[in-house]
Amino acid sequence: MVPLFVDAGGGDSKEGFLRCVDLGAYFQDLLTSNTCIGFVCPQILWHQAAVFNRNPKFDLVIHAGHIIDGTGSPWYSADIAVRDGRIAAIGVLDPIDAKRVIDAKGKIVAPGFIDMLGQSGLSILAVPSAPSKVFQGITTEITGEGDSVAPLNDDIIAADAANYARFHITPDWHDFEGYFKRLERERIGLNLAIESLF
């Protein structure tokens, strides 16, 4: 089977490329069809550019979003391409160059927000996915003002036992290195930076 995308009614729009067909069976159908003469069939348009892309340039294209980039400029409509977890291009991009496409037409696309006063040093361990932050668009939090998650000693752990119990957390760290290793094991849902005087 040789895969080829055929326009299934979308005209020039990429959304039209819906069907992957076996060329041998396709041409056999054309030859036996009463509506087609030879290999010319007016209902189906072939698009050379729509041949299956085995080596897409991007992992993801967020298509036609209203981009608010944080510079203070008005929003603008564009596509955003992502490769290896990083923004690779912004502009008018061809979705055929992506492994996955998200249609963001009419939706706002913005960089993640930074919560500068998060105070989630312990609660992030209780609920690592951090939905109360992520669903608001917060992707980074600065925490550590007030109480600090490290350094810890046995006296501090004993004094804060009620707080650890409230979050169902057993502190298994004594310094920031140990705390960050715990965060990595928990696979938290946002970026976390610690503000500390130590």
Q: What is the pLDDT of residues 1-30, one digit of tens each?
A: 333 333 333 334 333 333 333 334 433 443
The secondary structure of residue 77, as a DSSP letter, is: E
Average pLDDT over residues 19-45: 37
Least confident range of 22-31, 78-87, 92-101, 109-118: 22-31
CATH of domain 58-109: 2.30.40.10
pLDDT at residue 3, rounded to an integer: 33
pLDDT number for residue 6: 33
Average model confidence (pLDDT) for the chain?
A: 77
Question: Residue for token digits 């502009």?
Answer: 91
Report pLDDT for 146.
76
| CB distance 75 to 67 below 8 Å | yes
Instruction: Please enumerate, as own/partner, the contacts of 130-136 that have beta carbons within 8 Å and a separation of 24 or more.
Output: 130/188, 130/189, 130/190, 131/189, 133/189, 133/190, 134/189, 134/190
pLDDT of 195 reads 82
Confidence band for 197, pLDDT divided at 50, 70 and 90: low
List pLDDT tens digits, range 111-137: 889 999 888 999 999 999 999 999 999
Q: What is the mean pLDDT of residues 88-100?
A: 91
Q: How confident is the model at residue 60 (pLDDT cuts 50, 70, 90)?
A: very high
> Is residue 42 reached through a cis peptide bond, with omega within 30 degrees of 0 on the bond before it?
no
* Amino acid (1-letter code) at residue 45: L
Arithmetic mean of pLDDT, 141-153: 88
Q: What percent of the chain has pLDDT over 70?
A: 71
| Structure confidence at residue 147 (pLDDT) | 80
Please, which pLDDT band fits residue 41 given cuts at 50, 70 and 90?
very low
- Any idea where the domains of the chain sit in the sequence? 5-50, 58-109, 113-194
Strand duo 58-67 + 113-115: pairing: unpaired
